[in-house]
Structure 1
Amino acid sequence: MADYVKAGGLGDVAAALPRALRTRSDVRVLIPGYDEVIAGAPDLRLVGRVPARAGIPACDIGETLAGGVPVLVLVCPGLFQRGGSPYVDGSGQDWSDNAVRFAALSRAAAVIACGNAGMEWQPELLHLNDWPCALAAAYLRWYGSDVPALLTVHNLAYQGLFPLEDAAVLGVSPEQAESITFHGRLSFLQAGIVHADHVNTVSVSYARQITGPEQGCGLDALLSRHAASGRLSGIVNGIDSSWDPRTDMHLSEHFDLHRWEGRVANKRRVQRALGLPHSDGPLFAVVSRLVHQKGLDLSCAVAHQIAAAGGQLAIIGGGEPRIEAEVAALSRRFPSSVGVYPGFDEGFARKMFAGADFLLMPSRFEPCGLSQMYAQRFGCLPIAHATGGLIDTVEDGVTGLLFNSADADSLRRCVQRAFRTYRIPGLLSAMRRAAMLRPSSWDLAGTEYLRLYERVLDARVPELQA
């Protein structure tokens, strides 16, 4: 949850969606008690306890508030209070006990839903996000609960796979393990897909694409059956209200639909910070994890074209060492055309969205994507591969530019379109305004989620009566 700790876009969703729902639903967030969470919740009070089972230790449940949203914190120092990130240690390796850690989180959600955590509050529905808590849907069924579960898949490629021998430690019998076994390993994500009442993804197009073998990650047959029975759908993520070029505290200068001068000021600030000279050509940006999925090799492949045509490329992010090295080499090769900010800084990333003319997003697959929506809100036009949520959020030639194949030649042709667009001020301004006006608030997504919650609850009632 981005209020405390963030590892990817899920942290933004976990912070923003509950805020969009809180006036219309009694929503609470359950999050492990990482060091950052404990440090950020000095008023934490204990409200419940989850007893030990098999190899999963007992955990306390604390409660605090984050922006008006009640947050339940799973307190177990031996599992969660350690260095590194939520998923990996300081060297980037998965924690060896991740199966126990996230089974503890999943089981706590199920125990709370069953009313067995000693708490006064009990949910009518569990909304589970990705593999770290997907096992909760299975625990619910194994414990005989009738509380329905909705599983949101943010990225099917991350499935939470663990040795089959871990089943006993997690309190899973051999018979129960059969439904959650994927090619000889326990799959937390498969457990959620099999046992949840409904599965949704973070865009309509991605929900369709994962039912085929190309993007189904080996679960396409299962997901295809869910789609056929009406148990698979998609809702595009939103972005929060802080992404406003008129008020954002991180920007060098503010701007709006009618006054563009502020974009120029932010562009100049980005150029100076990255050691790039003043240029009236277009500034292309990459704001991304530097990983293969995001197509960074494709962005690097078009850098020479951008430089030769009088443009500049600004890159911020960290990730795979090989790609980091390739990006660094680009900046040395084209010192006046390519600038790199290693690592990540929220404020500078926002300046890049506000100052760049185009955002490169050649992702090989993209369940939803948030960067393209951030860019649009700030009048920066996405250049995106037509996949997943990028299809649902970028209208080609109106709010950005799309290309159909994830290869360098297709991206080069789209970059050529961008240069042509940049040279026609009227067209560029019209597209910027259309992008900035595109509806993308969490209030819209929150309304869709409430409808889905009601649908899942309504479907569960007849089943129970039968």
Structure 2
Amino acid sequence: MLDSSQLDTVSGVSTLAHAELLSGSQVSVSIKRRQSILFVTSEIADYIKAGGLGEVAAALPRALRHHYDVRILIPGYRQVLSQIKDLEEIARLPASFGIPACGLGRGTTQDGLTVYVLLCPELYDRDGSPYVDSFGADWSDNDIRFARLGLAAADIACGNGDTLWRADLLHLNDWPSGLASAYLAWRGQRIPTILTIHNLAYQGNFDRNRLPCLGIPEAAFQINGVEFYGKLSFLKAGIYYSSHITTVSSTYANEITRPEFGCGLHGLLRTRAEEGRLDGIINGIDASWDPSTDPYLVSRFSAENFRGKRANANTVRKSFGLDLSSGPLFAVVSRLVHQKGVDLAISATETIVSQGGQIAVIGQGEARFEAELRNLSSRHPGSVGVKIGYDEGDARRMYAGSDFLLMPSRFEPCGLSQMYAQRFGSLPIAHKTGGLADTIEDGVTGFLFGEPSLNRFKDAIRRGLETFRSRSRLTTMRRAAMNRPHGWDRSASRYQEVYERACQAALA
């Protein structure tokens, strides 16, 4: 047997031990331990989802687990606790400053992925989303709620959570987990941390008088720390203290180093880029997005045979109160907010309808856009259909049945809808920004326009309408879009490279 003292397991790097067998012969035995990755997230689509992060948190760890011992850490929201059937409490994490104590639960997903859950009903057992109440207002104690998440991640990385497991690397996501890398730094720990920015516009900014109750040293409230224009910023803390920063497309990684997209953090991000510590890695989509097997579709189809699209289109038309038509069907599947260019889609409606097109819209968001869309549907009965809210089946059938997806986003870190649409043979019409620029080849797998203006958007729509009238060209573009690589393999490979660099830097 090997003596445990012979094993070097610093930061989970592959280790080599030498053992003397009972025969007395000297043999080198290579012992390779998979690195342990704690993926820290405020949402995961298995249980609760507010946006694209939930989809990524469900897919990326699964793509990585063939190479790593990857586990999830998530708050114990009501929706999470009700769905993990084998959850058991394995530890108690103590209170710190104004952050309450909590239990640490351990369970598994249906396919065996280990999930750690923070058991703290006073913080997480509520109606609403992870971030807002049922009226759409931020929870007043969001700083405490997500400081608890960051502190727990740091505790687990230091071996103070699961006595049988500790993380070699933390993979943090957006502002809710941003303080984890800071807590490690303030403890003098060099455990590598990766922060992925899914949307720089959401930063987790709070009053500076919250520093004491969050356990943040006063000395950290400066430009080289957590201070952001007089506020405490969870996201800036994550960017400043993490070993490496990633974001969700290469174009967006470049954009956020410039003032127009950097949301006030462009200077720090430019510095990280110059240091070689900022990478853009495009997201993928999971294998369930397959029109030949999707159970939500009324008729399945493939890139070789599109006939099923018409049946799905007719189902969408009926569901959204649209007339039966052989004309083009446009879809909007989106949060109804300014960032997504909803106002541009509303203003372009006359152009689409006048050319015999129809529009189906599903989503929710700002009240003014919801009201405008309802009015639009009233003015164009049979041509414009709107559903406020979200339904997975409706959304999938819209991707499958539509000819075009409208995505005039003013900025889009990655975007998943354009990839869903492409996989289902719907051509995205999108602003050339962020992940849209990286995943849509203009005139081949969709249509791009160069500035978020109504005129440029209408020009792209007209190009789409011209393509619709050319059946051979439409078929060629649909096939190219459906056959574009959409999976997570390439993204997971890039994350492996980043993890390796971060671990090597921690050992230097």
> Do they fold alike, i.e. is TM over 0.5?
yes
User: How far apart are residue 190 of structure 1 and its match?
Assistant: 0.2
Tell me, in whole angstroms, the C-alpha distance in 2 between the residues paired with 1:203 and 1:68.
29
Answer whether contact 2:220 2:227 (CA < 8 A) is retained.
no
Q: Deviations over 1:209-239 (max 9, x none)?
A: 0000000000001100111110111000000
Distance 1:324 1:147 in 2: 46
Question: Which has the higher mean CA deviation after the structures are superposed, 452-461 or 242-251?
Answer: 452-461
* SS in structure 1 at match of 2:117: strand
Indicate yes or no: 2:477 matched with 1:434: no
Give, in whole Å, the separation in 2 of the partners of 1:354 and 1:90.
31
1:234 equivalenced with 2:280 (yes/no): yes
How far is 1:450 from its partner? Answer: 1.4
8 Å CA contact 2:364–2:390 kept in 1: the answer is: yes
Identity %: 56
Partner SS state of residue 105, structure 2: strand
Deviations 1:167-203 (A, max 9, x none): 0000112112331010111000000000001001000
Moved more, 424-433 or 440-449: 440-449
- The structure in which a higher percent of residues are helix is 1
Query: How far apart are 1:360 and its partner, in Å?
Result: 0.3
Q: For the residues of structure 2 that align with 1:173 and 1:10, how far apart are their CA atoms?
A: 30
Q: Deviations over 1:292-312 (max 9, x none)?
A: 100000000110110000010
Aligned to 1:168, what secondary structure does the other structure show?
Answer: helix
Work out the number of aligned pairs and report it: 462
The offset of 1:48, in angstroms, is 2.2
State yes or no: 1:162 paired with 2:206: yes
What secondary structure does 1:304 align onto? helix
Match of 1:146 among 168, 173, 190: 190
AA aligned to 2:217 is: S
Q: 2:105 aligns with which of 48, 55, 62?
A: 62
1:116 to 143, 147, 160: 160
Does 2:494 align with 1:448? yes
Q: Render the CA deviation track for 1:329-359: whole Å, top value 9, x for unaligned.
A: 1100111211112210001100000000000
Match of 2:63 among 20, 31, 35: 20
Question: Is the 1:236–1:389 contact (alpha carbons within 8 Å) kept by the matching residues of 2?
Answer: yes
Within a 5 Å distance, the mapping from 1:395-434 to structure 2 comes to: 395-434=441-480
1:352 alignment counterpart? 398
Is 2:309 aligned against 1:263? yes
> Shift of the alpha carbon at 1:460?
1.8
What's the secondary structure of 2:74's corresponding residue?
strand
Please state how far the C-alpha of 1:92 moved relative to its aligned partner: 1.0
TM-aligned CA deviation for residue 49 of structure 1: 2.3
Alignment partners' CA distance in 1, 2:231 and 2:379? 45
> Given residue 204 of structure 1, which amino acid in structure 2 is its aligned partner?
S
Larger Rg: 2
TM norm structure 2: 0.90
Name the residue aligned to 2:349: 303
The equivalent position to 2:435 in structure 1, one of 378, 385, 389, is 389
Please state how far the C-alpha of 1:47 moved relative to its aligned partner.
1.9
Conserved? CA contact 1:2–1:12, under 8 Å: yes
Q: 1:243 aligns with which of 258, 265, 289?
A: 289
Q: CA deviation at 1:118?
A: 5.0
Q: Is the 8 A contact 1:126 1:150 kept in 2?
A: yes
- Counterparts of residues 151-300 of structure 1 (less than 5 Å): 151-178=195-222, 179-300=225-346
Gap regions ≥5 residues in structure 1: none
TM-score under structure 1 length normalisation: 0.98
SS in 1 for 2:195: strand
1:43-71 residue CA offsets vs partner (Å, 9 max, x unmatched): 10112221110000111111111132100
Contact 1:49 1:118 in 2 (8 A): no
SS at match of 1:136: helix
2:384 is the counterpart of 1:338: yes
Q: Which residue identity lines up with residue 404 of structure 2 in the other structure?
A: F
The root-mean-square deviation of aligned C-alpha atoms, in Å, is: 0.8
